[in-house]
Structure 1
Amino acid sequence: MDNRLKECRIIEIPRFADHRGILSVVEGPPQLPFEPKRFYYIYDHASGARRGCHAHRTEKELIMALAGSFQVLVNDGDSTREFQLNRPDQGLYVPPLVWHEVHSFAVGSVCAVLASQRYNSDDYFRAYEEFLEAVRRSR
């Protein structure tokens, strides 16, 4: 297993609860291994939808289930791991050069992502074969 796949891990997000409800806060380092530059979220998923299906050259991400649940497949070109996200106080850290696919959304799920960069289409590997070639070159 490549070290990149070992870097994929669940990060606990602090929760502060009182009679009004629960507040969770995500900040940059040291809580995250990057400084967030972009936030986006995905909802109203079509049945059977798979999202992501790409890797990044340099971008790092934290994927969170703000509501509902879904699966995240991560792949380093050699091995694959699967994570279930179903708690708003946890996020999955995905480093660069890790292919990831989000799938098996429960009805009403909201998938949120914090990213280390603003959107840059040149940072994406959208074809799996192109990703594999980049992984081979990086070794």
Structure 2
Amino acid sequence: MTTINDIKILKIPKIHDTRGNLSVIEGEVIPFPIKRVYYLYDVPSGAERGGHSHQKQSEFLVALSGSFDVVLTDGNEQKTVTLKKPDEGLLIPNGIWRELNNFSSGSVCLVVASDVFDEADYLRSYKAFQLSKNRLS
């Protein structure tokens, strides 16, 4: 069963140049094949995103610009991670509930996913998430 200890901050290689920095997310950075990439932006002040868990899919979140908090729980423990550097990302395996909040003005959240969109993979209520965790324990 996935726990809060399975969540990791991973460094993304940064190539520094006088013209600006370049970072690349490839197979050596994240431990899954990339099937989908999307990004969140223009999130209104005080708004929250996420509020779900995945049964199979893993995700890798990066703050390309600005900052935001990711509140994570495995059903027993909770942890908040602030993402604010474009050369590091948060690896969230399946079975972890996540909520994103406290978006700074102009923030952009890149999400790299291990699978294509599948509504059946989402647990969108915290109660359903807790029930799924209880079935696995």
TM-score (norm 2): 0.97
Aligned residue for 1:116?
114
Instruction: Please give the per-residue CA displacement for 1:17-50, whole angstroms capped at 9, x wherever unaligned.
Output: 112211101012x421211110000000111111
Task: Report the identity percentage.
Answer: 42
Aligned residue for 1:44?
42
Q: Aligned equivalents of 1:33 and 1:6: distance in 2?
A: 16
1:130 alignment partner, SS class = helix
Runs of 4+ in structure 1 off by over 3 angstroms are none
Aligned residue for 2:55?
57
| Gap runs ≥5 in structure 2 | none
Aligned residue for 1:18?
17
Q: Aligned equivalents of 1:10 and 1:122: distance in 2?
A: 27
Q: Aligned equivalents of 2:104 and 2:72: distance in 1?
A: 19
Q: Aligned equivalents of 1:66 and 1:47: distance in 2?
A: 18
2:43 alignment partner, SS class = coil
Instruction: Please give the per-residue CA displacement for 1:100-125, whole angstroms capped at 9, x wherever unaligned.
Output: 00100000000110000000000000
Q: How does 1:77-92 map to 2 (within 5 A)?
A: 77-92=75-90
Instruction: Please give the per-residue CA displacement for 1:74-101, whole angstroms capped at 9, x wherever unaligned.
Output: 1001110000000000100000010000
1:18 alignment partner, SS class = coil
TM-score (norm 1): 0.95
| Gap runs ≥5 in structure 1 | none
How far apart are 1:3 and its partner, in Å?
4.8
The CA RMSD measured in Å over matched residues stands at: 1.0
Aligned residue for 1:35?
33
Aligned residue for 1:8?
7
Amino acid at match of 1:118: V
The count of aligned residue pairs is 137
1:97 alignment partner, SS class = coil
1:34 alignment partner, SS class = coil
